[in-house]
Structure 1
Amino acid sequence: METMEITSKPPIDTTPLVLVIGKFDGIHKGHQAVLRAAGEKVGNADKLAVMSFSEPPLWVLTGKTEYKHCITTEKDKIHLFQQFGVDRYYRISFTKDYAETTPEEFVFDHLARLNIKHIVIGEDFRFGKGGNAGAEELVRLCKDIKIDVSIVPLIKQNGEKISSKTIRQLIKQGLMEPANSLLGRPFTMTGKVVHGEKVGRRLGFPTINLGSDDSYVPPKPGVYLGTVCISDHQKYEQYWNVLISAGYRPTVNGNGYLVEGHLLNFSGDLYGKEAAVSFLRYMREEIKFTDLEALREQMEKDKRDAEKLLGMNS
């Protein structure tokens, strides 16, 4: 997939495009509906393109860490866009200066530079300075430059609209089943396996350590059942069931929030490889144990419980 960097205005281009615009944090079921609708508009000579932001806008504008945390990092989003057949990604380098762009400037000075055949957006789409303009305003402005706009109705589940905000809240509460249901796939954190303090190895439970990437929404501290996909420089992939420990490791006086995973029935060296850890089910809260032996005994129980859930010890 081709990436086009936008620092002020898109480069003038005659490539015929079907364009999707949005933040797309999570690429949940609602986002997926928009991407599918756009794919149906693509003709033989057209490219399917997405226009989105390099950083969460509220994080740039406020500097508050809570707005930095995402369901999907930009790398994750690009991977998912490719699965929906996206050919080109317009990456807007969002800054406080860019945030001053008016709706009229966005349409007449930015979108008009591209050969857009059709735009597809969600019903709750907002754009322009302060997010003051909505989907209907985009339709009105685009008529002046002869671009058709399709608005995809909100996707609801249990009577409520599916939103990234709701999913982030569920993840923070450790409610993985409902979060994953809204996403349409498991919540997943990806990263390189790095060296840690090797406490798990000393206890007989070697773990993969994803480091302390604070880009993701942090799941509620505790132990989870999940899966992990290990990629060897994109040559091949391995999938394993995994016990995930997410949190602050109070028993060993951990420094900061960390995600680790113990792969069930696996032995080997995974350092430096890419790991995608998917959270399926919250099993228990994070506990401060009196000593490492008590921690080891609990980890043995966690493993037995996980194997029972997976039908591995029947």
Structure 2
Amino acid sequence: MKYIDINSKPVVDSTPITLVIGKFDGIHKGHQELIKVARDYRDGLLSVMSFSEHPLWVLREDPEYISSLTPLKTKLDILQTHGVEQYFNVHFTKEFSDLTAEEFVDIYLNGLNIRRIVIGEDFHFGKMRSWDTDDLISLYMQRGIAVTVIPLVKEKGEKISSSSIRSLVKQGEMETVSNLYGRPYAINGKVIHGKALGRTLGYPTINLGGDADLYVPPNPGIYLGTAEILGEGIDAGRYNALISAGYRPTVNGQSYSIEAYLLDYSGDLYDRMVSLEFLKYVRDEIKFTDLDQLITQMKLDEVYARDYFG
């Protein structure tokens, strides 16, 4: 995929493109529908223009939005699987938020050879979200460029949105998230060294670090999931897993962490990249009075997991 990083300078590129514009955090079924329609209409490179930071983090410094459902690298990987060939990364800053709709068009769109624009029906842009789909249609109709507006994709009568999916992840509703995504919620990271407590207890776990803290954190608890070991090597592949997300209250953990026990796997994964998929919430975190109680519960969790995975 061709990647173009945009700051505040006008973009000039004569390559014919079909352009989809949106936040694309999560790349849920609504986003996927935009890409599908653009792919069907495609004239030139299928391109997406999106934003590097969430507006609510930039404008309000709301800590809830410092993390993403799909950080940039993950977003690019998923978009590529849907046929996107070019990505314009717009840096959302406070200065950017002050641009009028006309200035946005001048800086970010006028220098591109756009053959068609595809947007959702709730699309707004410009300072104070002053322009909507009708404004964009009127502007480009004069230039002979089609603007295709896609109706909102809904599930049980409700709009599928990144905001609602964020809330579901934080509630541990992973089966609902999988339905709205069309795939499980996943967090990618590098395996790092932990305190090796799981190994001492007979349940060696991998501890996820690296970019894992860029993702929206799931509700603390125990999950059923899968662990895909990425890259090359004889152990690359997918394994069923029990995933622990949270603060490890039994051992007085102070910070949020994610670790996983891979069923039927034995090996050293330090510094390897792993993708953990969250399939089903099993239970809350529990503060046990001693490690023997914790081991007993871990054995019960393993029995439940093996029964689930068959």
- TM exceeding 0.5: yes
Match of 1:255 in 2: 254
> Contact 1:17/1:48 (CA < 8 Å) preserved in 2?
yes
Match of 1:220 in 2: 219
Change (3 A) 1:197 1:131: farther
> Would you say 1:15 and 2:24 are equivalent positions?
no
For the residue of structure 2 that corresponds to 1:281, the secondary structure is strand
Match of 1:83 in 2: 81
1:231 to partner: Cα distance: 0.7
1:15 to partner: Cα distance: 0.3
Using the alignment, how far apart are the partners of 2:144 and 2:56 within structure 1? 32
> Contact 2:6/2:88 (CA < 8 Å) preserved in 1?
yes
For structure 1, list consecutive stretches of 5 or more residues without a partner in the other structure: none
> Contact 1:6/1:90 (CA < 8 Å) preserved in 2?
yes
Match of 1:61 in 2: 59
Using the alignment, how far apart are the partners of 1:234 and 1:61 within structure 2? 44
1:171 to partner: Cα distance: 1.1
Using the alignment, how far apart are the partners of 2:234 and 2:292 within structure 1? 39
Alignment of 1:1-314 (within 5 A): 1-43=1-43, 46-211=44-209, 213-232=212-231, 237-311=236-310
Using the alignment, how far apart are the partners of 1:309 and 1:199 within structure 2? 26
Change (3 A) 1:158 1:286: same
For structure 2, list consecutive stretches of 5 or more residues without a partner in the other structure: none
For the residue of structure 2 that corresponds to 1:210, the secondary structure is strand
1:69 to partner: Cα distance: 2.4
Q: How much identity, in percent, do the aligned residues show?
A: 51
Aligned Cα root-mean-square deviation (Å): 1.6
Change (3 A) 1:12 1:175: same
Using the alignment, how far apart are the partners of 1:132 and 1:67 within structure 2? 23
Change (3 A) 1:9 1:156: same
TM-score calculated relative to the size of structure 2: 0.96
1:221 to partner: Cα distance: 0.7
Using the alignment, how far apart are the partners of 2:13 and 2:127 within structure 1? 25
Using the alignment, how far apart are the partners of 1:296 and 1:130 within structure 2? 55
1:235 to partner: Cα distance: 9.7
Residues 139-173 of structure 1: CA deviation (Å, up to 9, x unaligned): 12223443211001111111111111111111111
TM-score calculated relative to the size of structure 1: 0.94
Residues 210-241 of structure 1: CA deviation (Å, up to 9, x unaligned): 12743222111100000111112599840000
Using the alignment, how far apart are the partners of 2:236 and 2:33 within structure 1? 28
Change (3 A) 1:48 1:228: same
Using the alignment, how far apart are the partners of 1:234 and 1:143 within structure 2? 53
> Contact 2:10/2:106 (CA < 8 Å) preserved in 1?
no
Residues 190-216 of structure 1: CA deviation (Å, up to 9, x unaligned): 111111111111111111111274322
Using the alignment, how far apart are the partners of 1:128 and 1:186 within structure 2? 34
User: Which segments of structure 1 move beyond 6 Å, counting only runs of 4 or more?
Assistant: none
Using the alignment, how far apart are the partners of 1:127 and 1:149 within structure 2? 15
For the residue of structure 2 that corresponds to 1:193, the secondary structure is strand
1:130 to partner: Cα distance: 2.6
Using the alignment, how far apart are the partners of 1:156 and 1:175 within structure 2? 18
- My pick for the range that moved more, 263-272 or 6-15, is 6-15
1:116 to partner: Cα distance: 0.5
Using the alignment, how far apart are the partners of 1:9 and 1:157 within structure 2? 39
> Contact 2:222/2:282 (CA < 8 Å) preserved in 1?
yes
For the residue of structure 1 that corresponds to 2:238, the secondary structure is strand
> Contact 1:107/1:141 (CA < 8 Å) preserved in 2?
no
1:64 to partner: Cα distance: 1.4
